[in-house]
Structure 1
Amino acid sequence: MLDYAAFPEQRQNKIRQLLRDNGRVVCTILAKEMQVSEHTIRRDLNELTQEGVCRRVHGGAVSMLVETGTFEQRMEQNQAEKIKIARACSLLIKSEGCIFIDSGSTNLEIAKNLPVQLSLTVVTNSPVIALELMKKPLCEVILVGGKLNREIGASIDTSAVQQVNRIHFDQCFIGGCALDPQMGVTIFDYEEAEFKKALIERSNQVIMGVTVDKLPGVARYTIASCEQISVLVMDGELNKGKANLFENSSLKIVLT
């Protein structure tokens, strides 16, 4: 077995690998497995945090995720998983309500899988999602306007915030870049974070469909704690172990 106490570079490389594989590490477990002190592990995690590899949390660290490309590029990633999650999300929608479908490739699949017999008002800030909703004959579609952000594929400026602040939503399907039981839901864009915070405040029920690559992990800006998310929808086959991370939180988990 490698003497991790004598080779700090190899020790930190091992921690990097564990963060990539699992998204999260725990100091006590690392210290035991590598036969070094917890102080040594905490020092390693502090150095990796300074490099931007992870973010320190109580008892360990969580992986600092990187942006995964433009909206068009994200639409091509994890398609089967997103469709499965979207179908489960669509079953949670209440008829005759007013809901918001946030921008994002998983939420686009929710719009595509919305039952045609469902009568409700749907608000969105994404033109692509709005076009999909127009195919549903019983949906009243409201498109939040403003300057379009090309990377996100939606309006998120102050004009968009002002518009959502005038509406009360029964349900909101929120998008996020990363999710962690301690750090909550995080994203990479500050302006988008402010928009999503306003959206969550106006919603009675907040639902998030999340793919396996987003958890556990953390991005730059926090938009919600786990306590602010009502329902978390995940692919049960891919998230058997990761669902246990949220067993102490108040949110409801739906495994597809």
Structure 2
Amino acid sequence: MLTEERRQHILGLLRRDGKVLSSKLSADLKVSEDTIRRDLREMADAGLLHRVHGGALPKSPTAYSYKTRQNQAPLAKQEIAKAAARLIRPGQVVILDSGTTAFLLAQNLPPDLKATLVTNSPPIATVLMQHPQIEVIVLGGHLNKDLQVVVGIETVKALQQFRADLCFLGVAGLHPETGITVYDYEEAHVKRMMMSCAAEVIALASSEKLGTVAPYVVNPVNALTHLVTEPATAAQLLAPYEEMGLGIVRK
């Protein structure tokens, strides 16, 4: 088998199984583990997968930059945002994480909704400022300009003051084994604290993020209570999360 054929085979296995093991690939393809490790390293360098000890996992398709992410899966994000907005009840305290889907959620809140929203996202705060009934609490800290999000120790400390009803969490990747992952180390710390401060934690994730990973782990999947995704998401993609007890919201 030629190198390119072998690598296409590896990508096919990743799509089918959600992971590959170097030892099994070596045995099945009848090449050395050194060859497989080189394949995985070069494929990771090309952005095709995410290397882990002993193998590889599908890489999250999510871009790092907020501006770039605004153009990724816009229809799915709009559907997710509308479904998520319907979960908020009057009088609740809600932590609204940063991200382009959360931004759309803020835009889709009913104009008569009375609630308190806590956010570390300047773009979301700007949207909520126009809402006639929402009380807005903006968390302080260091502004990451690429992500358009506030992070750091001051953000984490501020979150410790809240006991929210809901937390809507943006993710880069959601993998049944690896867990909730993101691309920024400091953002992972903030998201972890957000999750610990809410009675229910709801992930906002389009289908392209399911079964994929990014470099920094926030928490295991079972730390979530719900997953909101678009209506067209395939049942087999959702099955592992349903087995973990997550409530699946698609409309």
Q: Is the TM value for this pair above 0.5?
A: yes
Task: Tell me the distance in 2 between the aligned counterparts of 1:200 and 1:184.
Answer: 13
- Deviation of residue 212 (structure 1)? 2.0
Aligned to 1:152, which of 147, 156, 166? Answer: 147
Aligned to 1:195, which of 190, 196, 209? Answer: 190
Task: Tell me the distance in 1 between the aligned counterparts of 2:148 and 2:38.
Answer: 36
- Deviation of residue 13 (structure 1)? 2.5
Match in the other structure for 1:86: 81
Task: Tell me the distance in 2 between the aligned counterparts of 1:245 and 1:61.
Answer: 19
Change (3 A) 1:67 1:233: closer
- Deviation of residue 69 (structure 1)? 4.0
- Give unmatched runs, 5+ long, in structure 2: none
The answer on whether the counterparts of 1:23 and 1:215 sit within 8 Å (CA) in structure 2 is no
- Deviation of residue 178 (structure 1)? 0.5
Task: Tell me the distance in 2 between the aligned counterparts of 1:10 and 1:71.
Answer: 35
The answer on whether the counterparts of 1:90 and 1:113 sit within 8 Å (CA) in structure 2 is yes
1:227 and 2:222 correspond: yes
Within-5 A mapping of 1:18-167: 18-19=13-14, 21=15, 24-25=18-19, 37-38=27-28, 43=33, 46-51=37-42, 52=44, 53-56=49-52, 61-65=56-60, 68-167=63-162
- Deviation of residue 167 (structure 1)? 1.3
Task: Tell me the distance in 2 between the aligned counterparts of 1:54 and 1:73.
Answer: 20
TM-score, normalisation: structure 2: 0.86
Structure 1 residue matching 2:95: 3-state secondary structure? strand
Across the aligned residues of Structure 1 and Structure 2, the Cα RMSD in angstroms comes to 2.6
The letter of the residue matching 1:242 is L
- Deviation of residue 46 (structure 1)? 4.7
The answer on whether the counterparts of 1:23 and 1:62 sit within 8 Å (CA) in structure 2 is no
The answer on whether the counterparts of 2:13 and 2:20 sit within 8 Å (CA) in structure 1 is no
Change (3 A) 1:233 1:22: farther
Task: Tell me the distance in 2 between the aligned counterparts of 1:57 and 1:244.
Answer: 26
Task: Tell me the distance in 2 between the aligned counterparts of 1:227 and 1:55.
Answer: 23
Q: Percent identical across equivalent pairs?
A: 30
The letter of the residue matching 2:232 is E
Match in the other structure for 2:179: 184
1:175 and 2:203 correspond: no
The letter of the residue matching 1:181 is P
Match in the other structure for 2:207: 212
Count of residues in correspondence between the two structures: 243
The answer on whether the counterparts of 2:50 and 2:57 sit within 8 Å (CA) in structure 1 is yes
- Deviation of residue 47 (structure 1)? 4.7
